């Protein structure tokens, strides 16, 4: 089977990473493999000032495959999808994530990696949700913040892949979420 590399953000003419049919692309520019790292504090500041771009994102199995390829370029390893739906007693279905915060988890060089997939304009709201009183829905029903802080304190790495459109193409920015990120979100919440 020939080696195929996915190009991030460049040369993907009219390709939607969230479409149900996708094709692999060859890399024509090595710079395309270098994802943009965004400092969470800058992102929180910019989120309030930049005009919001509404991009509807419908998660499907193909989008998860592409996101796994994207995270594999940063942290080569083994990944699996954790987002799923649980049926409650009354028949209602609710979405569950790993710890209430990650759609994909995996291992890379002995490190546990957790990934949230969203659009770039929703990265800020996700960070704010992590420090809210929102429950994780897991066993014991602790808050997402307690789960995420425990995960980070035990050596886990958590990143958010924020997808956005560059013209007709999809690209992503990577945001590392640390305890400092959560502390900044908490202090910002208290100021308001």
Query: Domain-by-domain residue ranges, the chain?
Result: 30-191
Nearest-angstrom CA–CA distance, 98 and 137: 10
How confident is the model at residue 37, as a pLDDT? 57
Q: Using CB atoms within 10 A of its CB, is residue 110 exposed (0-12), middle (13-18) or buried (19+)?
A: exposed
Find out whether 6 and 73 touch, Cβ atoms under 8 Å.
Answer: yes
How confident is the model at residue 140, as a pLDDT? 66
Q: Where are the beta strands (DSSP E) in 7-141?
A: 36-38, 78-81, 84-87, 93-96, 104-108, 111-119
How confident is the model at residue 167, as a pLDDT? 84
For the entire predicted model, the pTM comes to 0.65
Secondary structure (3-state) at 116: strand
Q: Write out pLDDT tens, residues 144-187.
A: 899 999 999 999 999 999 988 888 777 899 999 999 999 999 98
- Torsion sign over Cα 143, 147, 153, 156: negative
Q: Number of helices and strands (H, E) in the chain? A: 5, 8
Q: Write out pLDDT tens, residues 5-55.
A: 444 444 444 555 455 444 444 444 444 445 555 555 665 565 555 445 555
Distance in Å from the first CA to the final CA of the chain: 55
Nearest-angstrom CA–CA distance, 115 and 43: 17
Largest CA distance in the chain: 56
- In this structure, are strands 104-108 and 78-81 parallel, antiparallel, or unpaired? antiparallel
Find out whether 83 and 97 touch, Cβ atoms under 8 Å.
Answer: yes
């Amino acid at each position: 089977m020939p080696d195929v590399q996915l190009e991030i953000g460049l040369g993907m003419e009219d390709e939607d990473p969230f479409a149900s049919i996708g094709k692999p692309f060859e890399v024509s520019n090595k710079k395309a493999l270098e994802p943009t790292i965004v400092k969470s504090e800058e992102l929180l500041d910019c989120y309030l000032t930049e005009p919001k771009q509404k991009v509807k994102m419908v998660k499907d199995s193909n989008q998860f495959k592409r996101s796994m390829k994207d995270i594999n370029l940063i942290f080569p390893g083994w990944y699996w999808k954790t987002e799923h739906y649980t049926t409650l007693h009354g028949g209602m279905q609710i979405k569950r994530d790993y710890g209430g915060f990650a759609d994909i988890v995996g291992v890379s060089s002995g490190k546990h990696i957790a990934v949230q997939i969203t659009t770039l304009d929703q990265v800020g709201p996700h960070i704010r949700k992590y420090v809210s009183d929102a429950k994780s829905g897991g066993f014991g029903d602790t808050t997402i913040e307690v789960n995420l802080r425990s995960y980070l304190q035990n050596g886990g790495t958590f990143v958010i892949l924020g997808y956005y459109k560059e013209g007709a193409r999809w690209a992503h920015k990577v945001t590392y979420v640390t305890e400092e990120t959560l502390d900044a979100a908490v202090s910002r919440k208290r100021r308001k």
